[in-house]
Structure 1
Amino acid sequence: MIYLAIGFPPAAKSCAYRMRETANNFVALGWDVTVLTIAEESWEREYGLDHTLSDAVDPRVRIVELPLAREDLATDIREFTEERALNPTRWSKQERERHLEHFPELVFGGWRSALEQGLLDIHREFPADLLLASCAPYVNLAAAWKLWEEHQVPYAIDFRDGWSVDVIGGGEAFTRDSEAGRWEEKVLAEAVAVWCVNDPIADFYRERYPRLAERVHVVRNGFDSDSVPAAHGAPNAEDGLTFGYLGSVNFKPEFLATVLDGWRAARERDPLLARSRFEIRGHIGAGASREANAHMALIRQAESDGVVFGGPVAKAEVAATYGRWDALVLMLVGGRFVTSGKVYEFMASGLPVVSAHEVDHDASAVLTGHPLWTGACGLDAAGLADSFVEAARMAVEATAEQRAEARAHANRFDRGLLMAPAARQLADTVRPALLTGSTQG
């Protein structure tokens, strides 16, 4: 199998967890797996590298890196062209237009030729029986199609969040008769399977392409057992509590401001919260804006309210990080089309969870029944203040049984339990063709 997985470890990307589990499962099923991704150095321009992510990659997985990188994230001005240095806005516009000439994706379209050739080269050296392409970027679809056109290699698409669905705003991101729409429909028509991370996205694709309905499968994200901290006991309320958020800060500054307003209001009302702190961990910004943006300005302004930023967390340190916290703040954009991988980790921690997201959100469906969840109140500072107060009460009063029940609620979302049947089903889908010697999907 060739696995087109841009974002594979050690890239410090949330998708790396899913990609690692996918590759490992196919190796466990007896497949020879070659991962095609981009050079490690390229990730330094974005969120960086986390080599602890690679520790659990099966050593039998072969990794091929292409020398591709996002030029728009380059920060060394000594390497800029004169045009870019003098007029960066015009350069950025021309750069987007250049990518769109190759494929309808703003910052990745220009990668098309290299990805296509990379797949063909790997197939020439290690003839593939299956290609699994993980999106984004969606230019991966063009590469999958190229291998199909030239060698009829069966392929599956792991859409994760989908392309033509607007997961943040809801509804359609582009029409079927647009260039992107024509690409998507053409490639999906020949796919042996299409994976999505939740039911709303899967239902969108089943309705959009009825002929594909039986090939669209929900393969949820989940939590890794090594990210779960040891069982918590009751904290010492006299010392105050520590609320935590772990994840990329990729939402609008206004969103973060609302959460911080709710935290501030809760501290004014509740003596326990007044002596507590709110720690934000993860990646904030990429390229030149990494930790130098409006989000960081808001966090610094809130330092007097006990808000601190601790930077990214290596995969090997995730469990220990949760272990130092008393309650969690789940900050998510979007609505019913968005789940987020972090919700599973948050649940598995056994800690109280404050929901800072829309009420009609897929994370709400996942959290329903969690005994230490404060519920979804929407993005309202007053409602969030109530949730912070309730979570603080839960953190102090929760029994060992309630904490165990919270962990048990998450157990069905163990990443290995979710990925294993999906990998097996995909392998079984292509096996009949392999046994008969057919190359048709």
Structure 2
Amino acid sequence: MSNRVLPLPRSGGGKRPHAIYLAIGFPPAAKSSAYRLRETANQFVALGWDITVITICQEAWEREYGLDHTLSEKVDPRVKVVELPLIREDLETDIRAFSEERSLDPAGWIKRLRQREQKVFPEPVFGGWRYDLEQAVLRVHREHPADLLLASCAPYVNLAATWKLWEEHKVPYAVDFRDGWSLDVIGGGEAFTRDSVSGRWESKVLEHAVAVWCVNDPIAGFYRERYPHLADRVHVVRNGYDEDSLPDVSGRSPDPAAGLTFGYLGSVNFTPAFLESVLDGWRIARRDDPVLASSRFEVRGHIGAGPAREANRHMDLLKEAAVDGVSFGGPVPKADLAATYGSWDALVLMLVGGRFVTSGKVYEFMATGLPVLSAHDVDHDATNILAGHPLWTGAVGLDPHRLANSFSEAARMALKATDADRTAARRLARRFARPAVLGPAVRHLTELVRPTTAGDSAPAASTEDVQL
């Protein structure tokens, strides 16, 4: 990403245009969304805008998936970050801090907490943050009038703060839905009706949005069908990968006698049954394939949050599979991604969901130039992304015997791949480099909103689709 500041129309008083970015999960949060949030903020700065990120305090992430301060190293220093003292009470693990009610009736306590949260805003876990977020955007706007607000969801309570600023000051806004709200991306279909409380919130906010971002075509299609009069404002803005996460894979010649190392990197957000299917496939492959018999399978990433962090059924399954060459190494800091990928011979892409799910890791996996084994439904958006990849096993679903064949095929690819194969794989992925994806999208947003006077911006007339 270039840090060159381009000369753009100024807000009133000769000031630079200013965007407020509701980006809960911004670095140093060790969240998969942090990469997209960081690049988006950096792109605004590169286009000559001031940007204020509103997120939550670092202690909140320590309770959840943790912190990765190496993520913050590539945040442009001109990005202003405001951290709110919001934290998930349910993730507290120090029993000395528990109330008497929680200690005596933990299930009842969590049920009543969820009810209180959803009375404030119709979103469990995060709904109670509504008023703090509303006051935060009003305060930031008062101190530095905004020309645009971009809300990244989830959490969807960000939409309440977005609406508050529009209601009181008519600041234009866009919504980065990523996965969408009224769509059940895992099961497919509608998550809630148009006339529900959530449905009325979504309809109201989207009605005035200058743009709505979605991460893939199926999600965008859902929203265009649900809100046909807003179809031209719905844009596909995919996730992508960072060049500095890629390993040097040239000149590789793995030794089959020494075995290969397979790797998975990402959050373990699938069910134990899903993981068990993959591990069973691995065991069958090791039994039937001499190369795999001496190979290893390393799992890296986050497993569980709060009190369930690395203390759940997934961990039990991984420990039981240690005799089969399976190991768990915990999360990987952003700065160590390239080295981690470089230590592996093939990648195992484990993904939940189907046609509405892409994930962010698929872009990074395909860009490494290493063989990719798909462990997900055949009708999955990752299948569309990987089509044409010269070192991809194809998607066969989650049947253990079919997965065993895929493990063997990935091993064959790892042993036979040439530098030309690896270069072709990287060339196919190049269009998904994160700046190439988010740069045009952010530029399009800035063109939709013409700064006139500070805090009084006018939406541009054109809402032509972004060419991404």
Shorter chain as denominator, the TM-score bin is: over 0.9
RMSD: 1.0
The CA distance in 2 between the partners of 1:408 and 1:75, in whole Å, is: 46
Q: What does the per-residue CA deviation read over 1:345-391, in whole Å, with 9 as the maximum and x for residues that have no partner? A: 10011011110000000000000000000000011111100000000
Amino acid at match of 1:280: V
What stretches of structure 1 move > 3 A for 4+ residues in a row? 435-441
Match in the other structure for 1:291: 310
Amino acid at match of 1:242: T
Residues 449, 458 of structure 2: 8 Å contact kept: no
Residues 261, 345 of structure 2: 8 Å contact kept: yes
Is residue 119 of structure 1 aligned with residue 137 of structure 2? yes
375, 379, 397: which one pairs with 2:398?
379
Amino acid at match of 1:419: L
Amino acid at match of 1:260: L
The CA distance in 2 between the partners of 1:398 and 1:150, in whole Å, is: 59
Match in the other structure for 2:328: 309
Deviation at 1:218, TM superposition (A): 0.4
Aligned pair count reads 440
Match in the other structure for 1:434: 452
The CA distance in 2 between the partners of 1:396 and 1:220, in whole Å, is: 32
Q: What does the per-residue CA deviation read over 1:22-79, in whole Å, with 9 as the maximum and x for residues that have no partner? A: 0000000000000000001110010000000000000000000100011111111100
Q: 1:167 to 1:237 in 2, by over 3 A?
A: same
Amino acid at match of 1:160: R
Match in the other structure for 2:216: 198
1:53-132 correspondence to structure 2 within 5 Å: 53-132=71-150
Match in the other structure for 1:357: 376
Is residue 174 of structure 1 aligned with residue 174 of structure 2? no
Q: Which runs of 5+ in 2 are unaligned?
A: 1-18, 460-468
The CA distance in 1 between the partners of 2:93 and 2:454, in whole Å, is: 53
Deviation at 1:435, TM superposition (A): 7.2
Deviation at 1:406, TM superposition (A): 1.0
Match in the other structure for 2:258: 239
Deviation at 1:231, TM superposition (A): 2.0
Match in the other structure for 2:288: 269
Match in the other structure for 1:249: 268
Q: What does the per-residue CA deviation read over 1:120-159, in whole Å, with 9 as the maximum and x for residues that have no partner? A: 0100101100000000000000000000000000000000
237, 241, 244: which one pairs with 1:226?
244
Match in the other structure for 2:27: 9
The CA distance in 2 between the partners of 1:436 and 1:215, in whole Å, is: 24
Deviation at 1:399, TM superposition (A): 1.3
Q: What does the per-residue CA deviation read over 1:154-178, in whole Å, with 9 as the maximum and x for residues that have no partner? A: 0000000000011000111111011
Residues 266, 386 of structure 1: 8 Å contact kept: yes
The CA distance in 1 between the partners of 2:419 and 2:78, in whole Å, is: 41
Amino acid at match of 1:135: C
Deviation at 1:409, TM superposition (A): 1.1
Residues 169, 455 of structure 2: 8 Å contact kept: no
Is residue 157 of structure 1 aligned with residue 175 of structure 2? yes
Match in the other structure for 1:394: 413
Amino acid at match of 1:303: A
The CA distance in 2 between the partners of 1:209 and 1:312, in whole Å, is: 39
389, 392, 411: which one pairs with 2:430?
411
Amino acid at match of 2:329: G
Is residue 331 of structure 1 aligned with residue 350 of structure 2? yes
The CA distance in 1 between the partners of 2:426 and 2:457, in whole Å, is: 45
Residue aligned with 2:452, SS: helix
1:133-148 correspondence to structure 2 within 5 Å: 133-148=151-166
Amino acid at match of 1:385: A
Deviation at 1:438, TM superposition (A): 5.0
Residue aligned with 1:157, SS: strand
The CA distance in 1 between the partners of 2:42 and 2:214, in whole Å, is: 19
Q: What does the per-residue CA deviation read over 1:95-114, in whole Å, with 9 as the maximum and x for residues that have no partner? A: 10010110000100000000
The CA distance in 2 between the partners of 1:19 and 1:437, in whole Å, is: 23
Is residue 186 of structure 1 aligned with residue 204 of structure 2? yes
341, 357, 365: which one pairs with 1:346?
365
The CA distance in 2 between the partners of 1:436 and 1:281, in whole Å, is: 46
Q: 1:82 to 1:435 in 2, by over 3 A?
A: closer
Match in the other structure for 2:386: 367
Match in the other structure for 1:281: 300
Q: 1:149 to 1:391 in 2, by over 3 A?
A: same
1:11-26 correspondence to structure 2 within 5 Å: 11-26=29-44
The CA distance in 1 between the partners of 2:86 and 2:440, in whole Å, is: 33
The CA distance in 2 between the partners of 1:418 and 1:353, in whole Å, is: 22
Match in the other structure for 1:30: 48
With structure 1 as the length reference, what TM-score do the two structures score? Answer: 0.99
Residues 354, 387 of structure 1: 8 Å contact kept: yes
Q: What does the per-residue CA deviation read over 1:387-420, in whole Å, with 9 as the maximum and x for residues that have no partner? A: 0000000000111111111111111110010100
Residue aligned with 1:156, SS: strand
Residue aligned with 1:234, SS: coil
Residues 355, 377 of structure 1: 8 Å contact kept: yes
Amino acid at match of 2:183: V
Residues 275, 314 of structure 2: 8 Å contact kept: yes
Residues 195, 216 of structure 1: 8 Å contact kept: yes
Deviation at 1:86, TM superposition (A): 1.1
Deviation at 1:434, TM superposition (A): 2.8
Q: What does the per-residue CA deviation read over 1:192-251, in whole Å, with 9 as the maximum and x for residues that have no partner? A: 000000000000000000111000000000000010101241212111100000000011
User: Identity of aligned pairs, percent?
Assistant: 71
Residues 152, 440 of structure 1: 8 Å contact kept: no
Residues 146, 455 of structure 2: 8 Å contact kept: no
The CA distance in 2 between the partners of 1:416 and 1:296, in whole Å, is: 36
The CA distance in 2 between the partners of 1:284 and 1:336, in whole Å, is: 24
Amino acid at match of 1:382: H
